[in-house]
Structure 1
Amino acid sequence: MATKVSLQMDFLTDQNKKVRITVQNPVQPLDNSAVNNVMDLIVAKGIFAFPQGLIVKKVGATEVQTDSTAIV
């Protein structure tokens, strides 16, 4: 069985739209404080622009683990 891990960070834009930034294979174990600080930095620096607008607020982050098993 193979397990894949990703970090999904959700934000709101200046147009009140939700956007998500996904990081594949983040360094484990995830540090809540570090993720929170990075999200604050993304909001403060305005380094990502989306068709939905500029990021203005963090919403939350989720660690997603996906298990897969070969059948054949």
Structure 2
Amino acid sequence: MQWAVLSAYAVLLPPGALRAALEDVTGQHAPQPHRQRVGLTLAEAAGMMERGRLTEFGTCAARAYLPRLGLGGLQ
């Protein structure tokens, strides 16, 4: 689920250091396609995504997760 939310968040970011770093992290840890579908389904069930798009709740969750990835200073 984190992968789905963080990947969707990266797409929303303007080009720059944070987007590049987040795309790198999500690319390195991308699950297999069948698990990607599970992550997207879980993110939608949790209210973090709706019809493949990040919700406000999902955006807040992604921002809160950035420090765990060592990316909090790039916000």
Q: Decide: shared fold, TM above 0.5.
A: no
Structure scoring higher RCO (CA < 8 A, sep ≥ 6) equals 1
Which TM bucket (shorter chain)? 0.3 to 0.5
Structure exhibiting the larger radius of gyration computed from Cα positions: 1
More strand by proportion, 1 or 2? 1
TM-score, structure 1 length as denominator? Answer: 0.33
TM-score normalised by length of structure 2: 0.32
